[in-house]
Structure 1
Amino acid sequence: MNTGILSLLAVIPILTVLFFLVLLRWPAKKAMPIAFAVTVVIAYFVWGVPVNQIAGASMQGVTTALEVLFIVFGAILMLNTLKESGAIQTIRQGFTDITPDRRIQAIIICWLFGSFIEGASGWGTPAAIIAPLLVAVGFPAMGAVMVALIIQSAPVSYGAVGTPILIGVQSGLAGSSAVEETAGSLGMTINEYVRAIGGEVAIFHGMVGLLIPLFMVTMLTFFFGEHRSIKEGLAVWKFALFAGLSFTIPFALVANILGPEFPAMFGGLIGLAIVVPAAKKGWFMPKKHWDFADASKWDASWTGTLNVQPEYNARHVHPVKAWLPYVIVAVLLVLTRLQSLPFGAWLESFVVRVENVFNSAITIESTPLFLPGFILLVVSILSAFIYKMNRYTYGSAWKDSGKTILAASPALLFSVPMVQVFINSEINSAGFESMPLVLAETVSGIVGESYPAVAPAVGALGAFVAGSNTISNMMFSLFQFGTAQNIGITPSIIVALQAVGGAAGNMICVHNVVAASAAAGLVGREGELIRKTLIPTVYYVFFAGGIGYVFVHGIGLNIGTAMVIVIVGLFLYACYQGHLQQKQEDRLYNWHKTA
């Protein structure tokens, strides 16, 4: 079959998702069953994938969906436990005491605390934890999910203590003689070569991710502010850049000195240690604090079913005690993810494994005790004792959490199997490559030597489809390496761009969006969220592609330089507008203060 026609057929499942979920704005529970059916039809009739392979891949997807639901359930249960105990009121007041400015709260909670959680656990856990926490602090549910998804970018390449690099890239490159020869010519083992790629990934992320806090707050004020103003977000450009640098500098240094295990965790912790005291002192911030309009004026589509408004007559909980469950979660996630400690191995020793599902080559394997959901569940139960909750109040937390998960289940139970059928289409009677590889090869064939500019987009496509940076890296790392060699480009740079794009794709991947939406009680509006998070995703792959092209071909009259100039020019203009807005806000503040 003609490669062009085959590529058009391979892209149909993705276009189906975009058409129903993004363009028509159908809820995921209606759109994803159709996308699953379309994928199965194409896999069977065009690729000739055997029925048992389709069934096995589907069951593998169901297993993954159940794991994601377990994580989301744990995150919601944790939050509902804090709500019923009264601790959420203390947490909410704590953020207000740092600053009542919602823009700054979003940066601290999402960009810094969320990056730390990403580094510790991965799995889309940060969005599942951060989104409902923001709702509890007073954000509209849709705004909370949006900003929680936007930070699923820079730190993601180092999620779960470096899994996307150490497992994703390394597994993707393993067994290739070309990779071994390249590493050997540099005096490196494969492991050392992969770690060096991990350092390059952090440099790209450091440059591109620097602007993510600014993106986050401008989208927050534009889509959810009373005046729908981009300038109100730009007014905190100094603080946003300060927070960006406070994370990305230690992030990049740790990646290149210590390796891929700790950049996101250390970047988040060091960033918090720098940024929180600065926020308390009002550094780099407008004098006027920004807030949402009264909740009675919010658009109906902004709110969800998650009700975490604290009871104001609830008993007072000391701040240390209120935050203790999240501290315990963070500590346990780190302890169980460090390979130098035995705790993770203990949890992973309990394995649910089914080989050759439906007589296919697919093996389903799950380690439920190692999932972040198990830790969240255990800490929730422990919290019930810490806060001395009675059976009625703690039972209410379980009941509310269960309702939220049931509402989210249909979407995930179709979206993840659809992904697995798409990915596992390499076993077929037609002799074709898998659908993702067909698409990637077509793209590389079209762009030729300009490939560095689109390499991140290939990684993002993989993450959008697979729902995972790790799996995207597994699928495409060797392809990216081979493409670089074919056109005479340094392979490590292209593989690094793959990992960067794979991280960015997490902002729009369907099951991350469904999971975060479910955690915030916002089931059914996934398409609208993807439309919003597409904006920072496009920025990320565009800027990373431009920088990658310049790394390969240098600065000059070329497409990469033009791409970088566009972003830098827009950034400088945004800073100028932000400066004017900050001066205006400060004048209004001073006028009201003296009036």
Structure 2
Amino acid sequence: MALFLSIFPIVLLIYLMVKRNPVPSYIALPMVAILVYLIKVFYFDADLVLVNASVVSGYISTLSPITVIFGAILFHRTLENSGALNTLRQWLSNINPNPVAQLMIIAWAFAFMLEGASGFGTPPAIAAPILIGLGFKPFRVACLALAMNSVPVSFGAVGVPTWFGFSPLGLSVQQTLEVSGMTALIHSVAAFIIPVIALLFVVEWKEVKRNILFVYISIIACVVPYFLLAQINYEFPSLAGGAIGLLISIVVANFGIGLAKVENAETNILITTGQIFKALSPTLLLIAVLVVTRLPQLPFNAMIQDKTEWLSFSLGYLGDFTITKGLVLSLNHIFATTISDNYRLLYVPALIPFGIVSLLTFFIYRLTVKEVHEIAMRTIKQGIRPFWAMFGSLVMVKLMTMGGDSSMVKIIGTSFASVAGESWTYFSAYLGAIGSFFSGSNTVSNLTFGGVQFSTAELVGLNTSLILALQSVGGAMGNMICVNNIIAVSTIVNLQNQEGEILKKTTIPMLIYGVIAAIAATFIVPLFYSI
């Protein structure tokens, strides 16, 4: 019964979102969150104060993804109103009007690099609006962006899912590097298939086939440095692989190598270097700020995460509120419990870089007060419903993960593992995907299920590094079906009530990814590592 009641809310949520007349996510998710609340209280007999504290924690956690969404929408609206997006669209068309080239450059290589720098769902948030500006359909772009944002995710935000996600396990540096190398190898194998499937969301197979040489040049340009670097470092594989791959992809596209010739349907307007630089300046600033503030080797990363207490005061029974020198806003001991949560004002990529870069763009393009006001109002209006969807999602996650080894999430994970036994290699990636489906984060998936995966591997005699690598791969591929990410992309591209349809589409490459991961782990990884 415990397993049934743990799985039932997920099944109900999927049904509500994908049935013939789907329930909008901003209604379905709060409904399911209420159901989970009732199950926790009346069946699992959870302490009511702890449950309510988890709801408050869920509200605080909602601030991170929702402010990123607001920031991404603001940035997109600013580029659109300033005319920068139109200039970028024309410039990219001039590089090569071939749609496959444009999709691979932006949704694959450019997003690959952004994931390495930031994570937090930033790549689809930036890539999707640019592709729509090039004339691609929003729904198709949303599916493409989610499917593409998988291979680099295990090393996103300078490797946080790997080095921090598995930190509770106390792995040695050498074993962490082994997990890193295996993870990159499995992802690299999947990279030869998944981007091709993703392209089919937007263009027909005959178009992909005509340009398949360029597609694989772009894939290999990102994956080779990514794989090689992951053998000796777990922070920079995605960032370096994406940067190298983007440069090579642009150069190759400019010469038309591996691309079918396509006539530019638009008037070929001459764009000067100055215009290109001005249009690119907001995006270049965005990338620069992300890199500078995310690299742990630079002082800014430590500054914006400084946990030294600066200000503290009591909010009574609600909890203790603290502000650190790095402007980490925390509510501790919520309702006199051990539950706490925080919002990292400077680290979450909302104010920095989206807010600041948008503000600078107002001045670069000399937008009027009226234009700025219009951008702000449209941004707020577009983000209201996603707030309720995110709130419902994160409250559900908080409630399902509370309780340690007796939590609903752990019951699902351990039940699946016990049934699979020695065949766990074939299924472990899907447990990682379930973790991302719940939380919207490869890091949280690794934190949640890393221990389950490790203990299962030890119990049934499997290689622990390989199983942890599959967990990390699963957490990355789960980004395709994560409700939070689907809501975010749908909001940014202004799709209404299409989350269920997107989920149905992206589930297919996610399932295929899991099969590829199992095959790679069984037959390819042993060729490179002693297992």
Which residues of 2 match residues 241-280 of structure 1 at below 5 A? 241-257=216-232, 259-280=233-254
Answer yes or no: is the 8 Å Cα contact 1:202–1:255 preserved in 2.
yes
Matched, 1:123 2:123: no
CA-CA distance at 1:552 after TM superposition:
7.6
Matched, 1:89 2:86: yes
Three-state SS of the structure 2 residue aligned to 1:48 is coil
Answer yes or no: is the 8 Å Cα contact 2:93–2:264 preserved in 1.
no
Three-state SS of the structure 2 residue aligned to 1:354 is strand
Answer yes or no: is the 8 Å Cα contact 1:113–1:269 preserved in 2.
yes
Which residues of 2 match residues 101-116 of structure 1 at below 5 A? 101-116=98-113
Equivalent in the alignment of 1:225 = none
Answer yes or no: is the 8 Å Cα contact 2:98–2:260 preserved in 1.
no
Equivalent in the alignment of 1:41 = 38
Equivalent in the alignment of 1:564 = none
Matched, 1:478 2:474: no
Given candidates 237, 243, 255, the residue that maps to 1:281 is 255
Three-state SS of the structure 2 residue aligned to 1:370 is coil
CA-CA distance at 1:533 after TM superposition:
0.6
Write the distance in 2 (CA, Å) between the matches of 1:59 and 1:236.
51
Answer yes or no: is the 8 Å Cα contact 2:457–2:463 preserved in 1.
yes
Matched, 1:386 2:364: yes
Equivalent in the alignment of 2:190 = 208
CA-CA distance at 1:217 after TM superposition:
1.2
Equivalent in the alignment of 1:23 = 19
Cα RMSD of the aligned pairs, angstroms, is 2.2
Given candidates 359, 362, 365, the residue that maps to 2:342 is 365
Equivalent in the alignment of 1:6 = 2
Q: Give, as a single letter, the amino acid of the residue that structure 2 aligns with 1:399.
A: M
Q: Give, as a single letter, the amino acid of the residue that structure 2 aligns with 1:486.
A: L
Equivalent in the alignment of 1:191 = 173
Write the distance in 2 (CA, Å) between the matches of 1:552 and 1:162.
21
CA distance change for structure 1 residues 161 and 98 in 2, over 3 Å: closer, same or farther?
Answer: same
CA-CA distance at 1:290 after TM superposition:
10
Write the distance in 2 (CA, Å) between the matches of 1:354 and 1:267.
38
Write the distance in 1 (CA, Å) between the matches of 2:264 and 2:27.
37
CA distance change for structure 1 residues 289 and 230 in 2, over 3 Å: closer, same or farther?
Answer: farther
CA-CA distance at 1:316 after TM superposition:
11
TM-score between the two structures when normalised by the length of structure 2? 0.90
Three-state SS of the structure 2 residue aligned to 1:130 is helix
Given candidates 61, 80, 101, the residue that maps to 1:64 is 61
Write the distance in 2 (CA, Å) between the matches of 1:316 and 1:403.
36
Answer yes or no: is the 8 Å Cα contact 1:464–1:510 preserved in 2.
yes
Write the distance in 2 (CA, Å) between the matches of 1:62 and 1:270.
39
Equivalent in the alignment of 1:236 = 211
Write the distance in 1 (CA, Å) between the matches of 2:87 and 2:243.
21
Three-state SS of the structure 1 residue aligned to 2:342 is strand
Percent identity for Structure 1 against Structure 2: 32
Write the distance in 2 (CA, Å) between the matches of 1:206 and 1:248.
6
Matched, 1:334 2:296: no
CA-CA distance at 1:213 after TM superposition:
2.0
Matched, 1:343 2:300: yes
TM-score between the two structures when normalised by the length of structure 1? 0.81
Q: Give, as a single letter, the amino acid of the residue that structure 1 aligns with 2:414.
A: E
Answer yes or no: is the 8 Å Cα contact 1:153–1:504 preserved in 2.
yes
Equivalent in the alignment of 2:167 = 170
Write the distance in 1 (CA, Å) between the matches of 2:45 and 2:205.
50
Equivalent in the alignment of 1:586 = none
Write the distance in 1 (CA, Å) between the matches of 2:235 and 2:62.
26
Write the distance in 2 (CA, Å) between the matches of 1:496 and 1:472.
12
Structure 1 gaps of 5+ residues are 180-189, 222-228, 295-311, 427-431, 555-595
Q: Give, as a single letter, the amino acid of the residue that structure 2 aligns with 1:242.
A: I
CA-CA distance at 1:394 after TM superposition:
2.2
Equivalent in the alignment of 2:316 = none
Structure 2 gaps of 5+ residues are 306-325
Write the distance in 1 (CA, Å) between the matches of 2:36 and 2:97.
47
Equivalent in the alignment of 2:381 = 403
CA-CA distance at 1:330 after TM superposition:
0.6
Equivalent in the alignment of 1:318 = 275
Which residues of 2 match residues 401-440 of structure 1 at below 5 A? 401-426=379-404, 433-440=406-413
Write the distance in 2 (CA, Å) between the matches of 1:417 and 1:142.
27
Given candidates 308, 330, 339, the residue that maps to 1:353 is 330
Write the distance in 2 (CA, Å) between the matches of 1:133 and 1:334.
20
Equivalent in the alignment of 2:501 = 528
Answer yes or no: is the 8 Å Cα contact 1:452–1:545 preserved in 2.
yes
Answer yes or no: is the 8 Å Cα contact 1:47–1:425 preserved in 2.
no
Write the distance in 1 (CA, Å) between the matches of 2:341 and 2:215.
43
CA-CA distance at 1:371 after TM superposition:
1.1
Equivalent in the alignment of 2:473 = 500
Matched, 1:54 2:51: yes
Q: Give, as a single letter, the amino acid of the residue that structure 2 aligns with 1:355.
A: N
Task: Give CA deviations for 1:526-569 in whole Å, capped at 9, x if unaligned.
Answer: 11101111111111111101221335889xxxxxxxxxxxxxxx
Answer yes or no: is the 8 Å Cα contact 1:102–1:290 preserved in 2.
no
Three-state SS of the structure 2 residue aligned to 1:219 is coil
Three-state SS of the structure 2 residue aligned to 1:97 is helix
Three-state SS of the structure 1 residue aligned to 2:448 is helix
